[in-house]
């Protein structure tokens, strides 16, 4: 009897798993990724997207829970259906995941990662950090901090 109860208990979780995924088809993700001047993906079907947001970096798969997030400077990685991945650097923007599994990634500025130059980024970072020391006005200070953060993210992304 004890053995039978054990078996029953072990079997139930397995059954629960099977019931969960049995009839839920993986929703296709309709992915739109654009900047004001350039469109990278328009209602494309991709496997996964990694985005850097103010609350942390997270990956979006089809049937992700709907959410709205604001981007921070960092890398967006797009994993296509064929397994290839492309990286882009975004400055800021927003990402929307809707209930029908459509994702809109709108970046204020976005460039493919290989079009960024590490040496120039390092030079910009040093310039921004030296400016940070001398600035006093609140608004200018905020601008310089943003510049430092963006350049740090670029350097980190390229290394």
For other proteins, the binding residues (CB under 8 A) are 32, 34-39, 42, 54-55, 65-70, 92-94, 96, 98-100, 102, 104, 106, 108
Q: Is 33 exposed, middle or buried (0-12, 13-18, 19+ CB in 10 A)?
A: buried
CB of 102 to other proteins, least distance (A): 7
CB of 101 to other proteins, least distance (A): 11
Cα atoms found within 13 Å of the Cα of residue 58, Cβ hemisphere only: 15
Q: Which is nearer to other proteins, 138 or 159 (CB)?
A: 138
What sections of the chain are H helices per DSSP? 2-22, 118-134, 138-158
Rg (CA), the chain: 22
Q: Which is nearer to other proteins, 102 or 129 (CB)?
A: 102
Q: Is 159 exposed, middle or buried (0-12, 13-18, 19+ CB in 10 A)?
A: exposed
CB of 105 to other proteins, least distance (A): 8
DSSP category for residue 105: E
CB of 32 to other proteins, least distance (A): 5
């Amino acid at each position: 009897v004890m053995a039978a109860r054990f078996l029953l208990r072990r079997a139930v979780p397995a059954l629960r798993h099977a019931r969960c995924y049995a009839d839920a088809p993986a929703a296709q993700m309709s992915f739109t990724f654009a900047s004001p001047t350039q469109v990278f993906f328009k209602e494309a079907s991709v496997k996964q997207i990694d985005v850097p947001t103010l609350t942390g970096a997270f990956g979006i798969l089809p049937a992700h829970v709907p959410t709205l997030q604001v981007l921070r400077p960092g890398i967006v990685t797009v994993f296509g259906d064929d397994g290839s991945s492309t990286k882009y650097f975004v400055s800021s923007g927003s990402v929307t995941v809707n209930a029908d599994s459509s994702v809109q990634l709108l970046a204020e500025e976005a460039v493919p990662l290989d079009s960024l130059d590490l040496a120039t980024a390092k030079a910009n970072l040093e310039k921004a950090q030296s400016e940070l020391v001398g600035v006093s006005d609140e608004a200018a200070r905020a601008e310089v901090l943003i510049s430092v953060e963006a350049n740090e993210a670029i350097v980190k992304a390229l290394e």
